Structure 1
Amino acid sequence: MLSPTSVRILLLGTLAAILSSCGGKSLIGKSKSTYREDLSKVRPRYTYVEPVTEKYTPAQPSQPSRKPAVKEEPPLHVNKRLEAILDTIAEQNRAIRYVNGYRIQIYVGNVRQEADAAKSFTYQTFPELNAYMSYSQPTYRVKVGDFMYRADAEQYLELVRPQYSTAIILSDRVEIKRSLDVKVSAETKKY
């Protein structure tokens, strides 16, 4: 059982809950009156001025001019400067003789006759390729071709491999004119 004091507290709490649920709208946050204050005294005022536009009317000469009409040509100083710069660039490009490219090394060894044989094989089989023999004691190296692109060197490498199985592609400085002379495609070349 509940004590009389706890019964009273329970009844008062229930009564308060019933009264609060039946009450009107809350006054917090919503009010029926609206805020009204005239702020026009403190707001800045701007006036719009319509811009003046004039219509274009071609000038009518009142008297015929005494000077003959001469067509004005565009200034040539821009063209002259441009031509000078282009000539400078062309001259610099003509001075470039070598580019980083690729060569196929077909022989590395100590026997001079074998190096000469590899060089003559290149001249006979691929006349469009140049052969380069170098000697660094005691080793001879024979490299062939002047290729600007690795893909071109790989095509010729497949044709050289049956004779020289140890042939590899190496990076090297190649002469631009000679690399442009290699026009025969490795796919069409049969030996």
Structure 2
Amino acid sequence: MRIQFILWLSALVALASCASLSTSKPSDDEVYREDLAVHRPTYEVPADTVGSERVIQADYGAITPSNDITDQLDAVLESSDQYKAETKFVDGYTIQIYTGSSSDEARIIRGKAISLLPDQEVELFYDEPSFKVKVGQYFSRLEAQHDYANLKGKFPTAIIIPDKIPIP
């Protein structure tokens, strides 16, 4: 009996909590209205500011600059162009897949790399006393990461190293 009472009471509370609460809005007649115009400050506009004055149009085309730095700026830009023309290399990255003393093993690894990545340049270097096999030329590590992931499975000693990339 007591359990039934608790169940009925909880059902009644649940139904009562689902009912929507109605909020009463005031009608249009009950909206607060008051004219505050009597409390607003008033300002008088001075008479000398009212009126129209004729604006004189000036010819600004005939003005010559007095602090002109065009010649100095041209010299700086020209030296920058000359520096860029003299620069033959840019800092970049390459993937080194082999370093060791065996030239035969270096050639075999070079062949495997060419078959694995035919669109990339694979180079074999002899940097005394070891042979090195490098793959690709990349401007950032992020660019090299895709090919590095492909090469890492076949060549576990592969690493991304900083290198100079020739500018064509």
TM-score (norm 2): 0.52
* Among candidates 79, 83, 87, match of residue 92 of structure 1: 83
> Which residue does the alignment assign to 1:159?
150
For structure 1, the 5+ residue unaligned runs are: 1-57, 59-70, 178-191
Q: How far did residue 128 of structure 1 move?
A: 3.9
Kept in 2, the 8 Å contact 1:107–1:143? The answer is yes
- Say whether residues 1:143 and 2:134 are aligned partners: yes
> Which residue does the alignment assign to 1:113?
104
TM-score (norm 1): 0.46
1:1-191 paired onto structure 2 within 5 Å:
72=62, 74=64, 78-177=69-168
Q: How far did residue 153 of structure 1 move?
A: 1.7
Would the alpha carbon gap of residues 93 and 75 (structure 1) be closer, same or farther in structure 2, given more than 3 Å must change? same
Count of residue pairs the alignment pairs up: 112
Q: How far did residue 142 of structure 1 move?
A: 0.7
For structure 2, the 5+ residue unaligned runs are: 1-54, 56-60
Q: How far did residue 136 of structure 1 move?
A: 4.0
> Which residue does the alignment assign to 2:31?
none
Would the alpha carbon gap of residues 136 and 96 (structure 1) be closer, same or farther in structure 2, given more than 3 Å must change? closer
- Give the partner amino acid of 1:72: A
Q: How far did residue 126 of structure 1 move?
A: 2.8
How high is the sequence identity, in percent, across the aligned residues?
27
Partner SS for 2:131: strand
Would the alpha carbon gap of residues 90 and 111 (structure 1) be closer, same or farther in structure 2, given more than 3 Å must change? same
* Runs ≥4 residues deviating over 6 A: none
- The C-alpha deviation readout for 1:6-57, integer Å capped at 9, x for no partner, is xxxxxxxxxxxxxxxxxxxxxxxxxxxxxxxxxxxxxxxxxxxxxxxxxxxx
Q: Which has the higher relative contact order, 1 or 2, with Cα contacts under 8 A spaced 6 or more apart?
A: 2
Which is richer in helix?
2
- The C-alpha deviation readout for 1:106-125, integer Å capped at 9, x for no partner, is 11233322212322333444
Would the alpha carbon gap of residues 91 and 127 (structure 1) be closer, same or farther in structure 2, given more than 3 Å must change? farther
- Give the partner amino acid of 2:97: I
